[in-house]
Amino acid sequence: MTRVAIIIGSTRPGRKGEAVARWVHKVASQRDDATYEVVDLAEFDLPHLDEPVPAAMSNDYAREHTRRWAETVASYDGFVFVTPEYNHAPTGALKNALDFLYHEWHNKAAGFVGYGLLGATRAVEQLRLVMAELQIADVRDQIALSLFTDFADAEPAPADHHEPVLHRMLDQVVAWSNAFAPLRSPGSR
């Protein structure tokens, strides 16, 4: 069965990302088209990129934390990135986690759930550029949760219009992940 990781893109203490990821997972778990799992970057404790060889040049990683992260990413067919927006950009922790790897991201699909003052739309736009370089197909539909209207007492309380968009995004992530499966199979490179 198709496996989709819901990646929490913030490691900051007090972050809202965990609660947003739980909401995404709750909605996604009602579906039967894939297995959805939350992956928390905070649990990987990745330092600033410390691999001696760029990931695009080799996937023979020198550091145990990189090998653990690579094994996790490689095990998924698609991704939903849950990201806040810091200074009109995604978090440094998320960008760093993306940069640690290269080949493990290829030929997979991704969707985005942003949250912030303006729904993290600028952070997602920047992430779309990174996805292209990592050979991840990013789907059109995205969620943009406003801290003003989609949260109550620091917990997500998304407006009703968000859930149908989330389902459309998940439809696309699963369909595209499945379509790319032959490209990910051994011997297809």
pTM across the whole model: 0.96
* 67 close to 101: Cβ distance less than 8 angstroms: no
Share of the chain above pLDDT 90, in %: 95
Residue 180 has pLDDT above 50, yes or no: yes
**How many angstroms separate the first and last alpha carbons of the chain?**
22
Domains and CATH numbers, the chain: 3-184 (3.40.50.360)
**169-179 mean pLDDT:** 98
Mean pLDDT score of the chain: 96
Write the pLDDT tens digit of every residue in 39-65. Answer: 999 999 999 999 999 999 998 999 999
* 72 close to 38: Cβ distance less than 8 angstroms: no
Please report the pLDDT score of residue 172 as a whole number.
98
Please report the pLDDT score of residue 59 as a whole number.
86
- Cα R_g (the chain), whole angstroms: 16
**138-159 mean pLDDT:** 95
Please report the pLDDT score of residue 189 as a whole number.
43
Please report the pLDDT score of residue 153 as a whole number.
87
**15-42 mean pLDDT:** 98
CA atoms within 13 A on the CB side of 114: 22
- Whole-angstrom Cα distance, residue 62 to residue 23? 36
Q: What is the 3-state secondary structure (H, E, C) of the chain?
A: CCEEEEEECCCCCCCCHHHHHHHHHHHHCCCCCCEEEEEEHHHCCCCCCCCCCCCCCCCCCCCHHHHHHHHHHHCCCEEEEEEECECCECCHHHHHHHHHCCHHHCCEEEEEEEEECCCCHHHHHHHHHHHHHCCEEEEEEEEEEECCCCEECCEECCCCCHHHHHHHHHHHHHHHHHHHHHHHCCCCC
Residue 149 has pLDDT above 90, yes or no: yes
